[in-house]
Amino acid sequence: MLYSRKGCHLCEIVKESLNKLSRRGGFNWLEVDVDSDEQLRHQFNDEVPVVFIDGRKAFKYRMDERDFLRRISS
């Protein structure tokens, strides 16, 4: 799951990586706009983008593609 917001250039970079990796890796991912919910905005306001894998925070601000693939294959 990717927590992001509109207008965030780091979010766009992570989304591009997730799109590319999902085409190759056959997994699905979900994006949630933190500004769509007051609680999410408060929780993640200064941390986007944030990537969660299996309910656990895995990456904040930037995502290493190799590390991401390693983590989802574990």
Ordered by start, the domain boundaries in the chain are: 2-73
Quickly count: other Cβ atoms within 10 Å of residue 13's Cβ.
14
Tens of pLDDT, residues 41-74:
999 999 999 999 999 999 999 999 999 999 998 7
What pTM value is reported for the model? Answer: 0.92
Which 3 state secondary structure label does DSSP give 74? coil
* Per-residue three-class SS string for 15-70: HHHHHHHHHHHCCCCCEEEHHHCHHHHHHHCCCCCEEEECCEEEEECCCCHHHHHH
Tens of pLDDT, residues 12-46:
999 999 999 999 888 899 999 999 999 999 999 99
Q: Are the C-beta atoms of 49 and 8 separated by less than 8 Å?
A: yes
Distance (Å, whole) CA 65 – CA 34: 23
Architecture of the CATH domain 2-73: 3-Layer(aba) Sandwich (3.40)
